[in-house]
Amino acid sequence: MRLFGLIGFPLSHSFSKGFFTEKFSRENIAGCAYENFPIPDISAFPALWEENPALEGLNVTIPYKQAVMPYLDELTDAAKAIGAVNCIRRDGKRLIGHNTDVLGFGRSLQPLLAPDHTDALVLGTGGAALAVKYALKQLHIRYSEISRSGPVTYEAITPELMQSHKLIINTTPLGMYPNTDAAPPLPYEHAGTEHLFYDLVYNPPETLFMKKGMERGAAAKNGYEMLILQAEASWEIWNS
């Protein structure tokens, strides 16, 4: 039995086990299982591999995307540049860290891009923002970072900045279930039909951030497809 799984804490919010279990059934992939491993501290990471010799690969979610890195034998260039790992493949006795968030986001965003989407506002500075910024660089899209503490604060967003940055990406958890009445404090009144609001949050499917953009005529997309694509990229890596 080939074993794969997810580490993080807690894991009640994760969709990964359901996704892979359904994938294995739907695609008639025999002899594979996917389990959640809610380890309360990253120090339990080495023992997890020792206790599960059939384990071939792991996905990594909060709060361990950065904390797991010292435990790995090798990092891909993307994982090094982003400074976060969300996929691990066992190669013999070696553990190799990858980042599939950048693949999932890039593949999800690219079909939506219009000629006006040359500059982006990236809301948030956490691990997800690192992957988003790496993908934007690959797509040759300039960006400005927005957070409560800077480098550009929400209060400093001018009408001119909104007009020159037609792509706005929320990498924060604002608006995620159950706090669905929250949204990044943007001057939404300066958005328009040329804007694209991309929210990494996927629960609820239509966040307040997205709704506020759409009220001004903007296009909007949630992070569910990104999630699917990064999961599929993990499967590609585990079978490479």
Annotated active-site positions, please?
Answer: 65
Region label for 140, one of left (φ > 0), alpha (ψ between -120 and 50) or beta (otherwise)? left
- Which residue in the block uniquely carries the two structure tokens 């949204």? 183
| Distance between CA atoms of residues 84 and 82, nearest Å | 6
**Terminal Cα-to-Cα distance of the chain (whole angstroms):** 18
- The identity of residue 227, as a single letter, is L
By the 8 A CB rule, do 58 and 87 touch?
yes
Q: What Å distances lie between residue 65 and 71, 97, 130, 157, 167, CA to CA?
A: 11, 10, 11, 30, 26
By the 8 A CB rule, do 234 and 96 touch?
no
